[in-house]
Amino acid sequence: MNKLNLKISIDKNSGYCFGVTGAITKAEDTLKERHELFCLGELVHNEEELARLEKGGLKIIQYNQLKNIRNTRILFRAHGEPPQSYDLARRNNNKIIDATCPTIIKIQRLIKEACKNNENIYIYGKHNHPEIIGLNGQIDNKATVFEDIDELNRMDKLPQHLTLFSQTTKDMNCFYEIVELLKSKGVKVKVQNTICRKVYNRQKEIKAFAGSHDKIILIAGKNSSNGKVLYNECKKYNADSYFISSVKEIKKTWFRKNESVGICGATSTPMWLMKDVEKRLSSF
């Protein structure tokens, strides 16, 4: 059988952000010592990486299970947690391995300061996203959370002044569209652009990468907000872009002989997984 002779390259800017890298490192270091570690929620939004860590002893628990975990170690992931999670874990004599991203810690401080100043806090983000739960939890859920412009438009009344924050993985252009919309409604907006610079730069960098290949394979977990944003960017500049979460989803029929294929990933996509995809494509 003739090989397709694909020309394959991995995006050098893809892979873990420093927040995810720190969380994975803390998990791995703890598992080397203890061979068991509980993690509140998915450590990363990537099914393949979670499976690897679970083989090493990582156990994912949900919020309703936290009250039953005692006398062990619990990792709080990069997304951050509300104060109630810390209180409950400590009351049950657990040691907390805190892997909250430094960027998230900074945003938590900004939100608490805004609340202390009695500002009307609005957050552009997904209602049930762990990062949003952690941020809003810092101020007893006093912030107004909205997912998109449509939801904002449906609100009956907006305050004359508000302070606008964002989930770190949201699209920058959408964020500033929201700012302009609020201003057009006569609202005075204090802008706190809390979109992660790593995420924003990745969006800019991926345009050139997507446009310079015949086909694009973007690898991300099905629950990765960043993965969805980056995939949409890829599709803008290369209609032949495919979203996958594992190597087994790749189809040989997607490709023609001698095509160039670019492999990229979200901030929660491990390099080993991108290399596995490269190996699979090379076998065609």
Q: Which domains, ranges and CATH numbers included, belong to the chain?
A: 7-15+198-282 (3.40.1010.20), 18-100 (3.40.50.11270), 103-195 (3.40.1010.20)
Q: For each successive 10 residues of the chain (284 residues), what is the average pLDDT?
A: 88 92 96 93 93 96 96 97 97 97 97 98 95 97 96 92 95 94 96 92 90 97 89 95 97 96 95 97 96
Residue type, 276: D
Given this model, what pLDDT does residue 1 score? Answer: 53
Active site residues: 131
Is the CB of residue 212 less than 8 Å from the CB of residue 17? no
Contacts of residue 173, defined as CB under 8 A and 6 or more positions apart, other chains included, come to none
From the list 16, 71, 83, 69, the residue with the least C-alpha distance to 40 is 69
Q: Structure tokens of 118? A: 């009695």
Residues linked to residue 253 through DSSP beta bridges, in sequence order: none
